[in-house]
Homo-oligomer: A and B are copies of this chain.
């Protein structure tokens, strides 16, 4: 019963030639990272779930690949769920309010409070919410009576009702049993405590905090590793893909932003990818705009809508902003953004006019102008720098510069790189006030772009330079001595493993495009020579070992 072999969707095998092409891109990026002063680190493929969950929004949490705990992960799952902080806290809160119900005068107020607590508690689990509400409201009298019979110490009473007398535990267990087994969302954290890396930025923040005593600040690190996302696969979007990240942490200097633009330009120039556009924006400008139009509280809605300009057009953006409750008047004020053009400098002039009166907005203009001026004065090789005020990118942690790189015009591919500045990424792990800025290269998309533009054509199927035909053990032994010498000199060489038919062996050499074949028969062994055949010219010559080495090495 043989299995038909396949791999999970969104993942890929890489053949020798694909590996060679990818390696050449990796090595270009790596070498440039190093000349720019970055140091390589690596982090584990999986992190504790608590490190990753909640860092990428609800959608991100959903797309994180979770790893099942080892062993009997479902053991005692009902009780574990029940004793978890989520449930206990809910119980405690509700009980604390029930205790207050003794105060008859304010009963209405307390009932109201309980309802609120029940409503707030465990808000994402509709079934439970309804159950809890029902459970407490219908049992109100019973609970109050129960309470009156007891001594008065609040805390110990609550604890006893909950855990010793188990009044509610039984009710709750019954309730859990009645559910269609268990709710996936609720169960996950009880059966999975590790998750695959979703990006390289959060693990880097974790690394910096964990190893802060071993790091010299400012710390310039790069990292080239795969990440995993349970996203729907499509062109240029995989479930396993590589990120190549460089970040500097511990400095607010805008010179970093300047260097990152130069770094992008250097890498893409070295890869032969002419005509990329490095788009730059600043979160402060976006904040300033919403401030000016009186929609400061709608920053996220506003930027999410604006970010879609190239997809849904001015009309679509207007519609979405209106739907999100941004006033017509406000939208009118920002309308010029919808048809923004001109040089970066011209755009910045216009923006500055629009932002008069917003301190943060003008700071954003000043920052971006500094960067653009310096980059232009130092010059870029093949990339263009373009201020794009619609650029927001999904990640909420950017606080300053935002970058995105697009492929040369005509190539249909989402962004091939992006990044930005985040003022407090390590804060979530307990290290405050560490500003960081970084960029990422999307290796897999860059690969697809280079392929589409025929820029990887120079790579040939990896193969040895010379193969020795195998005529039998005696000949193979004689050949092995020469092979040993060739390999010592770093020449990729192999012995055809079996004494197969000559034709089969020659076919193998031909199909793999191996440039040299060496023939060793009893004649050669006797004369202590080798017959070298140049597979391209067909030329054949008998030579001794030294001549053979020279001929193969120097060709």
A544 within 8 A of B: no
Is A484 interfacial (CB 8 A cutoff)?
yes
Q: Which residues does chain B contribute within 8 Å of A508, judged by CB atoms?
A: 216, 218
| Contact for A35 among B209, B255, B491, CB less than 8 A | B491
In the complex, the chain B residue whose C-beta lies closest to that of A263 is B487
Whether B44 pairs with A13 at a CB distance below 8 angstroms is: yes
Q: Which residue of B lies closest to A262 (CB)?
A: B484
Q: Report the separation of the CA atoms of residues A258 and B464 in the bound assembly, to the nearest whole angstrom.
A: 19
CB-CB under 8 A from A13, the residues of chain B are 41-44, 207, 210-211
Q: A99 on the interface (CB 8 Å rule)?
A: no
The interface bits of chain A over 492-509 (1 if a CB of B lies within 8 angstroms of the residue's CB, else 0) are 111111110000000010
Q: A259 contacts which chain B residues (CB < 8 A)?
A: 495
The one of B181, B428, B476 in contact with A255, judged by C-beta atoms closer than 8 angstroms, is B476
Determine if A216 and B512 form an interchain contact, defined as CB atoms under 8 angstroms apart. yes
Q: Does B67 contact A7, Cβ atoms closer than 8 Å?
A: no
- Supposing A16-B221, A41-B16, A43-B13 touch, asked if A258 and B480 sit within 8 A by C-beta, the answer is yes
Give chain B residues whose Cβ lies under 8 Å from the Cβ of A177.
Answer: 177
Given known contacts A497-B218, A497-B256, A68 and B70 CB-to-CB distance under 8 angstroms: no
Chain A positions 32 through 53: 1 when the CB is less than 8 Å from some CB of chain B, otherwise 0: 0011110111111111101100
Measured between beta carbons, the chain B residues less than 8 angstroms from A374 are: 477, 480
- Structural contact, B240 and A37, CB atoms closer than 8 A: no
Q: Mark A68-99, 1 if CB is under 8 A from B, else 0.
A: 10111111111000000000000000000000
Measured CA separation A480–B375 after assembly (Å): 10
Total A residues in contact with B, Cβ cutoff 8 Å: 119
Cβ contact within 8 Å between B36 and A494: yes
Q: Does A62 contact B (CB under 8 A)?
A: yes
**A108 CB within 8 Å of chain B:** no
Query: Which residues of B sit under 8 angstroms from A464, Cβ to Cβ?
Result: 37
Instruction: Flag whether A125 is at the interface (Cβ < 8 A).
Output: no
A35 CB contacts on chain B under 8 angstroms: 487, 490-493
**Does A487 contact B207, Cβ atoms closer than 8 Å?**
no
Chain copies in complex: 2
Bound-state CA distance A193–B10 (Å) is 14
A477 touches B427 (CB 8 A): no
Is B68 a contact of A495 with CB atoms below 8 Å? Answer: no
A540 at the interface (CB under 8 A from B): no
A275 within 8 A of B: no
Residues in A426-474 with C-beta less than 8 Å from chain B = 427-430, 462-464, 467, 470, 473
List residues of A whose CB falls within 8 A of some B CB. Answer: 2-8, 11-16, 19-20, 23, 31, 34-37, 39-48, 50-51, 62-63, 65-68, 70-78, 177, 180-185, 187-188, 191-194, 196, 206-207, 209-211, 214, 216, 218, 220-221, 226, 228, 230, 240, 248, 251-253, 255-256, 258-259, 262, 266, 370, 374, 377-378, 427-430, 462-464, 467, 470, 473, 476-477, 480-481, 484, 487, 490-499, 508, 511-512
A to B CB contacts below 8 Å, 10 in the list: A3-B51, A7-B48, A12-B44, A16-B41, A35-B487, A46-B240, A67-B68, A256-B497, A378-B481, A378-B484
